[in-house]
Amino acid sequence: MTRGEDFPRWYQEVIAGAEMADNGPARGTMVIRPWGYGIWELMQAELDRRIKEAGAENAYFPLFIPESFLKLEAEHVEGFAPELAVVTHGGGKVLEEPLVVRPTSETVINSFFSKWVQSHRDLPLLINQWANVVRWELRPRLFLRTTEFLWQEGHTAHATEADAHAYALRILDDVYRSTMVDVLSIPVLTGHKTARERFAGATRTWTTEGMMGDGKALQMGTSHELGQNFSRPFDITFATAEGTTEYVWQTSWGVSTRLVGALVMGHGDDFGLRLPPALAPSQVVVLVVKDSPEVGAAAEALVAELTAAGHRVRLDARTDTSFGRRSVAWELKGVPVRVEVGPRDLAEGTVTVVTRHRREKQSVAVGAVAGTVSAILQAVGPDLLAEATAARDARTVDAASLEEATEAGSVGFARVRLAALGPDGEDRLALKALSIRCLQRPDGSLAQPGDPEDDLVAVVARSY
């Protein structure tokens, strides 16, 4: 199945064929296999480093949340009500109070923030959590929408609205956008959501939107300004330096295993995955074409040399499985470089080096393999980013009306003045399965508080 024939089916076949994940036994759940989890671990490490550089510390909070906590913030509970999983029985008895299985942790974390914050000296309080969450998904799809998924969620408290605003944007740019562009090699648009699309309980939601291989948008990460919408019901106050008592200003932000799905849809081709080296569990696979003592020894020596050069390398010496089948399997998994060691080439002092993202083969002298592989690995990420950026730009159209935006947004991104959509624009777009993915200034930069909404540009697209 090719991408052009049936993109959703192609996506499912790549996930299965690359041994990334399987459907779990309960509807909407997911088993992440070692190759898929290895990709997630590398993403997690990159994100975690950036989150800590932004000053946040990791903690962990309970999976079960008293139902009454969610009811403290009306908009929050209303927004999540259709997705909640609720425990009513435990230990063979009816619970005195039902427990919600964590859909997000604003409420439980803020119940502790109210204990931990007393003075301006306690601020800013910057906490991150790596966890699983449960949202009852009606139309599950591996990595993109599952009932249970893995993510990180950050929660912060600040003395001023300006400080919270600045921190939400720092996470958006320094953590999320930089990881998506520099590590995933996926270009993203940044902007803020309309009131209709923003996070339940937020005053403003900032988003990163990527275009997938079929032209649809994927919301890849969000950073929310919560104002005082949670600090007031949870009574999170602090004594100022002047001796007054004030409510804190807050943010929350998160990305999930959806990023693994973005990697597949953003870079995959008709032959499977194409992984940027930063996220490849194995960056190089050395394949023994035909078993012999000389070939085996040469392959092991190359593995040692490439490993010493700092690359993640795997040896495939399973000569009881055909070479063609093995090479296709590694291509499907998206390993950036294959080094094929066979008796004929080796007799001439060479091996075959295959560059996955270009599907190019070259004969390389054994002594030059390490340098050649290092050069390829350095080029893969920028190549994939340039290709994805060109594809996105080719499918992005400036529209002058709702009708033009509807036509262009059905196959890519449409940029249209918000004022041109009219007061019922979002309703009319929704009838065509379109939405405003984000709002930006006309030059593509982030809008700031005080910018007239009608002067902003809406990015219109179909989405996952």
Rounded Cα distance between 27 and 438, Å, is: 31
Q: What is the pLDDT of residue 1?
A: 81
Q: What is the pLDDT of residue 78?
A: 73
Q: What is the pLDDT of residue 77?
A: 64
Determine the average pLDDT of the residues in 270-279: 98
Q: What is the pLDDT of residue 74?
A: 64
Under the banding of pLDDT at 50, 70 and 90, the label for residue 449 is confident
Count of C-beta atoms within a 10 Å radius of residue 76? 24
- For residue 350, what are the β-bridge partners? 365
Q: What is the pLDDT of residue 182?
A: 98
Rounded Cα distance between 238 and 406, Å, is: 48
The answer, as to whether pTM is greater than 0.75, is yes
For residue 124, say if its preceding peptide bond is cis, omega within 30 degrees of 0: yes
Under the banding of pLDDT at 50, 70 and 90, the label for residue 137 is confident
- pLDDT tens-digit readout, 333-363: 999 999 999 999 999 999 999 999 999 999 9
Rounded Cα distance between 265 and 9, Å, is: 12
Q: What is the pLDDT of residue 259?
A: 98
Determine the average pLDDT of the residues in 297-314: 98
Determine the average pLDDT of the residues in 273-297: 97
DSSP strands (E only) in 228-279: 237-239, 245-247, 249-256
Rounded Cα distance between 430 and 145, Å, is: 20
Rounded Cα distance between 409 and 45, Å, is: 35
Q: What residues have CB less than 8 Å from 95, skipping those under 6 apart?
A: 87, 88, 89
Rounded Cα distance between 130 and 134, Å, is: 14
* Amino acid, single-letter form, for residue 459: V
Token pair recorded at residue 44: 């997690």
Q: Which domains does the chain have, with CATH numbers?
A: 7-267 (3.30.930.10), 282-375 (3.40.50.800), 396-461 (3.30.110.30)
- For residue 86, what are the β-bridge partners? 100
Under the banding of pLDDT at 50, 70 and 90, the label for residue 130 is very high
Under the banding of pLDDT at 50, 70 and 90, the label for residue 450 is confident
- Using the predicted structure, report yes or no on whether residue 17 has a pLDDT greater than 80: yes
% of the chain with per-residue pLDDT over 70: 99
Burial class (CB in 10 A: 0-12, 13-18, 19+), 411: middle
Token pair recorded at residue 339: 């080094």
Q: What is the pLDDT of residue 229?
A: 94
Rounded Cα distance between 256 and 152, Å, is: 6
Rounded Cα distance between 169 and 206, Å, is: 8
- pLDDT tens-digit readout, 382-403: 999 999 999 999 999 999 999 9
Q: What is the pLDDT of residue 173?
A: 98
Rounded Cα distance between 61 and 83, Å, is: 20
Rounded Cα distance between 183 and 41, Å, is: 13
Rounded Cα distance between 382 and 89, Å, is: 53
Q: What is the pLDDT of residue 138?
A: 83
- Using the predicted structure, report yes or no on whether residue 216 has a pLDDT greater than 90: yes
Rounded Cα distance between 3 and 253, Å, is: 32
Phi-psi region of 56 (alpha: psi -120 to 50; beta: other; left: phi over 0): beta
Q: What is the pLDDT of residue 313?
A: 98
H or E stretch covering 163: helix 161-170
H or E stretch covering 59: strand 57-59
- Using the predicted structure, report yes or no on whether residue 76 has a pLDDT greater than 70: no
Tell me the DSSP string of 37-68: HHHHHHHHHHHHHHHHHTT-EEE---SEEEHH
Distances (CA, A) of 3 to 15, 221, 369, 397, 429: 13, 25, 33, 22, 26
Determine the average pLDDT of the residues in 94-112: 94
Under the banding of pLDDT at 50, 70 and 90, the label for residue 50 is very high
∠197-202-203 over CA atoms, to 5°? 95
Q: What is the pLDDT of residue 80?
A: 75
% of the chain with per-residue pLDDT over 90: 93
Q: Average the pLDDT over each of 4-13, 80-89, 230-239, 421-430 and give the range with the smallest value.
A: 80-89
Q: What residues have CB less than 8 Å from 452, skipping those under 6 apart?
A: none
